[in-house]
Amino acid sequence: MRQKRAKTYRKLMHLYSMSFGFRQPFQVLVDSEMCKIAIDAKLDLAKQLTTVLQATAVKPMITQCCIQELYLQGKTQQPAVDLAKTFERRKCNHREAIPGEECLLSVVGDTNKHRYIVATQSKSLRSGLRIVPAVPVVHINRAVMVLEPPGEATLEAKEQTEEQSLHPSAPELATIPQDKPLQKKRKGPKGPNPLSIKKKKLPDVPARSYQKRKADASDLLSSTAALPGQKRKCDSHDDQEGRTVGITDGAEDMPISRKRKRRRKTSAIPPSLP
């Protein structure tokens, strides 16, 4: 098979696989005429179907009505009957044998639910299958097996499936929480930018002068000074006042610390040695 034709067939089978769920091994329904031509042209039908459908495995199938047609044609078609018996038997549920074309149309149905590929030489059957969506049709032309392009019904069904896949289904819509409608924003004059507004000034607190603070500290020391020869008792209230003086008024004031002078003990002078 030429590379260009193989590429075309690969695209067609990809379309059927993605849009309609065809999976390997593909199920191929074969009619009685296809079996006869395969014997006359000495074709390996299963191998040719695998090549045309670009698949790794193919499952040829035949109905009892098609086999009955071969039986009615006499012993001359015994090789075709033997070939048909090697295929998997597809139950058509017909108590009495009917023509092969009608049998295959009834098996495929209106929607090709079981995803069959039909290999037939009947022109009337091929024209009838083009009306059914998602039915690949294979026939032999001058000892070459050909895969027909999709019909209009197949292309329309493909567009519908693609359109449905873009929208959520009913179960998916049920799971989506329904949000309240968004309220429209009210249009009107906007307030000023808070970054462009000047900050409010705090009320000025009059600062005490340094001289006044110094005078207050000296008065406090003079009132608490001890008489000469007496020890000054340090009260807890005085200690607390001394620590907090000058702290609350400003950062410049430093707490006044009192240092006690230690008296040096006069050491006894050792007597001079003679």
pLDDT tens figures, 6-29: 999 999 999 999 989 899 999 999
How would residue 51 be classed by pLDDT, with cut points 50, 70 and 90?
Answer: very high
Contact 31, 66 (CB under 8 A): yes
Q: What is the mean pLDDT of residues 110-121?
A: 92
Check: CB of residue 120 under 8 Å from CB of residue 146. Answer: no
pLDDT over threshold 90, residue 142? no
Choose from 77-81, 94-98, 190-194, 260-264 the range with maximum mean pLDDT: 77-81
Q: Is 20 helix (H, G, I), strand (E, B) or coil?
A: helix
What mean pLDDT, rounded, does the chain reach? Answer: 80
Q: Which pLDDT belongs to residue 205?
A: 57
Q: Where are the domains of the chain?
A: 1-157
pLDDT of residue 251: 44
pLDDT at residue number 190: 77
Choice between 232 and 136, residue whose per-residue pLDDT is larger: 136
Angle at 19 between CA 104 and CA 119, to 5 degrees: 25
**pLDDT tier at 201, thresholds 50, 70, 90:** confident
Whether the pLDDT of residue 117 is over 90: the answer is yes
Range list of β-strands (E), the chain: 26-30, 58-63, 88-90, 116-119, 137-141, 144-147
Round to whole Å and give the CA distance between 109 and 106.
5
Radius of gyration of the chain (CA): 54
Contact between residue 54 and residue 10 where contact means Cβ atoms under 8 Å apart: yes
The packing angle between helices 45-52 and 32-40, to 10°, is 110
- Considering only residues 272 and 3, tell me which one the structure prediction assigns the higher pLDDT: 3
Statement: residue 270 has pLDDT above 70? no
Please report which confidence band the pLDDT of residue 221 belongs to, taking 50, 70 and 90 as the band edges.
low
Q: What is the pLDDT of residue 274?
A: 43
Is the predicted pLDDT of residue 119 greater than 50, yes or no? yes
Predicted pLDDT of residue 246: 45
The CATH architecture one would assign to domain 1-157 is 3-Layer(aba) Sandwich (3.40)
Range in 12-16, 81-85, 200-204, 250-254 with the lowest mean pLDDT = 250-254
Is 239's pLDDT higher than 60?
A: no
Q: What is the pLDDT of residues 149-163, one digit of tens each?
A: 999 999 999 998 888
Give yes or no for a contact between 119 and 28, defined as CB atoms under 8 angstroms apart: yes
Q: How much is the average pLDDT of 189-203? A: 78
DSSP lists the bridge partners of residue 60 as 28
What's residue 183's pLDDT? 74
Over range 39-58, report the average pLDDT.
Answer: 91
Residue 213 or 46, more confident: 46
Nearest-angstrom CA–CA distance, 143 and 140? 6
Instruction: Report whether pLDDT(263) > 70.
Output: no
Mean pLDDT of 34-58: 91
